[in-house]
Amino acid sequence: MRMAPPTSPRSSTRSPRTAPFAAFAPVALTPRARVFVLTGAGISAESGIRTFRDANGLWEQHRFEDVASPEGWNADAALVWRFYAERRAQAVACQPNPAHRELADLERTLGARLFLCTQNVDDLHEKAGHGRVVHMHGELMKSRCESCSRAPFDDVEPYAAVPRCECGARIRPHIVWFGEEPFAMDRIQQALDACDVFVTIGSSGAVYPAAGFVRAVRARVSGDGKPATTLYVGPEEPDNAAMFDECRLGLAGDAVPGLFTT
Ligand code: NAD
């Protein structure tokens, strides 16, 4: 499924239990529990990277069609590179917050039983020490040739002009733009099929296919033969709130530390 722009209306087939995060007990993880965590722009907000939602659907004053779509790239590649150069310069200066650090700690405890999938293109999970992050929408600090088979490569250069590959084609940011296929969807589907606990942190629930993951988890039972637990953490209910068992309201930096006990 290709990445769709944020347009979906609120769905409301059932009511999740919604309350300030302090009203909930920590999620007690059993020794074999598999946890799927999906993070969105909200987890990086307290580190100084603005979300789409806070900017009324703009991304740092730009329409996403202009800077995050194949059409925008073909219309004005220099603008697209100026935009990602600014995002790189901004992200280099940002540091992980307690939510990123808590998930890195959880990985040290759970190992491969934690599957961390992020919609974010920043590298704050890695900076916090997380070893196996799945970046379904790509990575800001990587580039790739739009034509030849050269592998994506680490690249923090804030280009002022559109760079070229040795083959002559344009180098593009290693980002999944709207209308393109997210990365690692097979691995993501396997992890969705296997998880006992599914948690989304800081995502509006408006960008698909990520917004549909919770529905896929609810449609099956967990490895224990029980329904998987589905939680949302963020300051407000997301558009897909009706799919979650609980919405724990709060900022990620406050609500994620202490979210789990093992
Ligand atoms: P979104 O901007 O649509 O929604 C952000 C969500 O975060 C909102 O629901 C908001 O309530 C919540 N939020 C705000 N502050 C928070 C906090 N302190 N703690 C927890 N939650 C908080 O973001 P999205 O759903 O991730 O979708 C946006 C798309 O834009 C993604 O595809 C992503 O790739 C891209 N994007 C990435 C970054 C990044 O890499 N940091 C930043 C902006 C946009």
200 or 160, which is more confident:
200
* Mean pLDDT, all residues of the chain: 92
- pTM value is 0.93
46 CA closest ligand 1 atom index: 18
Total domain count for the chain?
A: 2
Residues 40 and 9 occupy one common structural domain: yes
Comparing 5-9, 137-141, 169-173, 185-189, the range with the smallest average pLDDT is 5-9
164 Cα to the center of ligand 1, angstroms: 31
- CATH of residue 148: 3.30.1600.10
Place of tokens 């800001």: 140
Q: Residue range 20-38: average pLDDT? A: 96
Q: What is the rounded CA–CA span in Å between residue 245 and residue 16?
A: 5
Q: Which domain holds residue 224?
A: 1-48+95-137+182-262
Q: pLDDT value at position 173?
A: 98
Ligand 1 pocket residues where CB is under 6 Å: 6, 40-46, 49, 51-53, 59, 119-122, 137, 202-204, 206-207, 234-236, 238, 251-252
Residues 227 and 103 occupy one common structural domain: yes
Domain boundary among 156, 175, 194: 175
Residues 30 and 108 occupy one common structural domain: yes
27 or 13, which is more confident:
27
Residues 88 and 199 occupy one common structural domain: no
Domain boundary among 175, 194, 226: 175
Residues 125 and 35 occupy one common structural domain: yes
Residues 71 and 191 occupy one common structural domain: no
Q: pLDDT value at position 10?
A: 46
Q: pLDDT value at position 231?
A: 98
Residue type, 106: L
Q: Residue range 223-248: average pLDDT? A: 92
Residues 37 and 75 occupy one common structural domain: no
Strand, coil or helix: 52: coil
Strand, coil or helix: 78: helix
Q: pLDDT value at position 57?
A: 65
